[in-house]
Amino acid sequence: MRLALAGAEEAGAVTTALTGEALRLPFYDAGVSERSELAVRLVEAVREADGVIVVSPGYHGALSGLVKNALDYIEDLREDSRPYLHGRAVGLIAVAHGWQAAVTTLNQMRTIAHALRGWPTPLGGAVNSAEVKFDEVGGASEQKVENNLRLIGRQVTEFALAQLAAGFADPTDG
């Protein structure tokens, strides 16, 4: 995620990372209107964002339950002028021990982004952690992977800037 965010910043974005503890949310329940402080923070961050980058480990060929639960909270944006992920670029990265799990996880994430009315970037990241290692500061052991993850961040920013320039970021703007 650090590499994708760095790519977004290089293209002019201001980024916010919500990771680890920030995603330890109660199970999403549409029937419950009260939200935890962390859930409110997540929903507000998405509401204010013009682009989103979602990174998930692949567990048994699927995205993490923690990440899926966080994505379920986007349902709270259904009544907004920009419902769900409408008009937002969505960069997607799946990291798994093996190509099959990385690719199937990425495919599921693309399906979820579409269902939430988001625009997945042309390039998605499927990273095989059996072959690629990351250091403590987020660098990848393979330059090609590092370049691709930065490109995903740039694509999110470029799409967001194009949407803003065209006046399409808010569907109530006409």
What's the angle, vertex CA 77, arms to CA 72 and CA 27, rounded to 5?
25
Euclidean distance between CA atoms 81 and 92, whole angstroms: 24
pLDDT tens digits, 77-123: 999 999 999 999 999 999 999 999 999 999 999 999 999 999 999 99
User: Does the domain at residues 2-168 carry the CATH identifier 3.40.50.360?
Assistant: yes
pTM for this prediction: 0.91
Give the percent of the chain with pLDDT over 70: 94
Domain extent listing, the chain = 2-168
Statement: residue 141 has pLDDT above 70: no
Task: Count the helix, strand and coil residues of the chain and give each as a percent rounded to the nearest 5.
Answer: 45, 15, 35
Q: With 90 as the cut, is the pLDDT of residue 156 above it?
A: yes
Q: In this model, does residue 167 exceed pLDDT 60?
A: yes
Structure tokens at 10: 């290089």
pLDDT digits over 4-52, tens only?
999 999 999 999 999 989 999 999 999 999 999 999 999 999 999 999 9
Give the pLDDT band of residue 173 (cuts 50, 70, 90). very low
Give the chain's length: 174
